[in-house]
């Protein structure tokens, strides 16, 4: 009889709490991605934080990590780059009314969801 071997080594304790053999660990990505010990002002929308020298590269995990990482991550990133590049080239993104910015709160779950919001796309002239 063969014995199954975990794909990744499983620690016997996490943060000092014993983990019995056979346990399933589900990481709380929302807590990890809004950890004030890792991120300055974690609730604020600050995409430039990833451009700063010494930014924690692996602290943001939108596609998971390790053996269970999303196999489509490379394709998704390439598509997002092209799609967003075309939008930003051809349109100016504006709030629907002056000063009416979307809320940045998220709802936790399997996938993080932000509340619905509207954006006005104003075509820009040819370069």
Q: List the helix and strand counts (H, then E) for the chain.
A: 2, 4
Which CB contacts under 8 angstroms, 24+ apart, belong to 112-119? 112/29, 112/30, 119/93, 119/94, 119/95
Q: Do residues 104 and 114 make contact, with C-beta atoms less than 8 angstroms apart? A: yes
70 is in an annotated binding site: yes
Where is the binding site for heme, in residues?
Answer: 70
Could you list the residues known to form a binding site, using ranges. Answer: 70
């Amino acid at each position: 009889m063969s014995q199954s071997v975990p794909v990744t080594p499983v620690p016997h304790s996490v943060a000092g709490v014993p983990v019995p053999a056979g346990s399933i660990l589900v990481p709380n990505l929302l807590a990890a991605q809004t950890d004030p010990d890792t991120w300055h002002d974690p609730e604020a929308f600050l995409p430039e934080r990833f451009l700063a020298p010494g930014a924690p590269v692996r602290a943001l995990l939108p596609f998971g990590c390790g053996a269970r990482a999303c196999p489509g991550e490379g394709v998704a990133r390439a598509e997002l780059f092209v799609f967003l590049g075309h939008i930003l080239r051809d349109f100016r993104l504006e709030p629907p009314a002056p000063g009416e910015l979307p809320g940045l709160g998220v709802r936790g779950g399997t996938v993080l969801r932000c509340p619905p919001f509207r954006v006005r796309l104003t075509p820009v002239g040819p370069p």
